Homo-oligomer: A and B are copies of this chain.
Amino acid sequence: MNLLTVGSVAFDAIETPYGKTDKIVGGAGTYICFSASFFVKEQGIISVVGEDFPLATLQEMKDKGVNLEGLQIIEGGKTFFWSGKYHNDMNSRDTLATELNVLGTFDPIVPESYQNIDYLLLGNLSPEVQRTVIERLAVRPKLIAMDTMNFWMDIALEELLKTIQLVDVIIINDEEARQLSGTYSLVKAAAIIQAMGPKIVIIKKGEHGALLFHGENIFYAPALPLADVFDPTGAGDTFAGGFMGYIASTDDYSFENMKRAIIAGSALASFCVEKFGTDRLKEITKAELNKRIDSFVELAHFQMKEI
State whether B211 touches A208 (Cβ < 8 A).
no
Say which residue of B205, B207, B302, B307 sits within 8 Å of A290 (CB atoms): B307
A73 at the interface (CB under 8 A from B): no
Say which residue of B208, B228, B289 sits within 8 Å of A208 (CB atoms): B208
Give the Cβ gap from A132 to chain B, nearest Cβ, in Å.
Answer: 34
A285 at the interface (CB under 8 A from B): no
Q: Across the interface, which residues of B come within 8 angstroms of A305, CB to CB?
A: 260
- Pull 24 A–B residue pairs with CB atoms less than 8 Å apart, ordered by A: A38-B307, A185-B226, A185-B228, A185-B229, A186-B207, A186-B225, A187-B225, A188-B227, A208-B208, A209-B220, A218-B225, A218-B299, A220-B299, A222-B222, A259-B302, A260-B302, A260-B304, A263-B304, A264-B307, A290-B307, A293-B307, A297-B304, A300-B300, A300-B302
Q: Mark A219-238, 1 if CB is under 8 A from B, else 0.
A: 11111011111000000000
State whether B307 touches A286 (Cβ < 8 A).
yes
State whether B303 touches A256 (Cβ < 8 A).
yes
- Going nearest first, the 4 A-B pairs with the smallest beta carbon separation are A220-B222, A208-B208, A259-B302, A187-B227
A92 at the interface (CB under 8 A from B): no
Q: Mark A254-280, 1 if CB is under 8 A from B, else 0.
A: 001001100110000000000000000
- Residues in chain A within 8 A of chain B (CB atoms): 38-39, 88-89, 184-188, 205, 207-209, 211, 218-223, 225-229, 256, 259-260, 263-264, 286, 289-290, 293, 297, 299-305, 307
How many Å lie between the Cα of A260 and that of B301 in the bound state?
10
Given contacts A185-B225, A219-B302, A220-B225, 5 further A-B contacts (CB under 8 A): A185-B226, A185-B229, A260-B303, A260-B304, A286-B307
